[in-house]
A = this chain, B = another copy of it.
């Protein structure tokens, strides 16, 4: 009998840098250095603070999981606000902005990685978000609806 897949309800957060190719073309080393600084000072600590876990990173983005949708949204809002402050001294050409997508899904866990259509949906949503914004699936919004903090601070 095959071992049953371990499943868990999670809020999946996908984020990537707006116009990464353009930024890299203009200033490869500088872009990488600024991105690393934002990750180190803001993004990674916020994910940890909100009990999230970075599942994987790509050159310009990351995928994280959160046991709570409220925590995932709080993290996204605080990161996006922090990026506004972090970009104050940057010229338009050097500004790093993130797009974020959040989706609640019943994911499959295997050896530290996560699988399932819910992961792909988060990534697709992220690509549709405004620069500096965050998109959520309607079921994620439904779960967040009665959470006063979440509904008063979210930007979709």
A interface list, Cβ under 8 A from B: 7-11, 67-71, 104-106, 116-118, 137-139, 142-144, 146-147
Contact = CB atoms under 8 A, between A and B. Distances in A.
A11 B143 CA distance: 12
Contacts of A137: 142
B9 A67 contact: yes
- Chain A interface mostly helix, strand, loop or mixed? mixed
A102 to B, nearest CB: 12
A55 B23 CA distance: 52
A7 B72 CA distance: 11
A106 B139 contact: no
Contacts of A9: 9-11, 67-69, 104, 143
B143 A67 contact: no
Contact of A146 (B7, B70, B117): B117
- 10 nearest interchain CB pairs? A7-B68, A9-B9, A139-B139, A139-B142, A69-B106, A117-B146, A8-B67, A7-B70, A70-B106, A106-B143
